[in-house]
Amino acid sequence: MKFTFRCCVALCAVLLAACAGVGPPRGADTAPAFELAGRIVVRNQERGFSSSLRWKQANGRDELWLTAPLGQTIAFLEADANGATLTASDQKQYRASSIESLTKSAFGWRFPVDGLRYWVFGEAAPGMSPATIERDGAKRIARMKHDDWQIALNYATSEATRPSRLDIVGNDAEIRLAIDSLSRDQP
């Protein structure tokens, strides 16, 4: 009886520990809620991709629309604690554990959502490896390195507090994100 009870307690402890690692995508639950509209250009290997981007992030959920110049949706991506889904223009759906792994398998390049949700505000992302940060004369982040991403932040004016463009280089892609509008929900 004692042996069975101890085994049951040990099994419950192992199961609880395993469940503790399940949750929303890294950083999603602590990221500010926001809406972003902009344009994205991606180069990986000899291929290129460009589109308009609309991104909404709130309550641990990301929704991204990639659209063609005339407004038709190329892809719709959404992610929450249960994983990520990409719906293509032909309505086919693809699933993965995160937007980063989904874009890697679907497009051949990773879209670094975990960090990008902070970088668009000119901030270092919590939860990623310690960033190497260079600041400009106005004390804003001008360049930083997070994990295997190198990010250059460009500001429209010397008074701007948020970047208007990000140039991001990773192992598998170069990404340029021009930010047309960005609004942060206040708690």
Class of domain 24-181: mainly beta
The strands making up 141-146's β-sheet, listed across from edge to edge, are: 93-96, 83-88, 73-80, 61-67, 47-58, 34-44, 174-184, 165-169, 149-154, 141-146, 132-135
Residuewise pLDDT in 10s, the chain (187 residues): 443 333 332 323 322 222 333 333 444 456 779 999 999 999 998 789 899 999 999 999 999 999 998 889 999 999 999 999 999 999 999 999 999 999 999 888 999 999 999 999 999 999 887 779 999 999 999 999 998 899 999 999 999 999 999 999 998 899 999 999 999 875 5
* Domain boundary assignment for the chain: 24-181
pTM over 0.85: no
Distance of CA 6 to the CA centre of its chain: 43
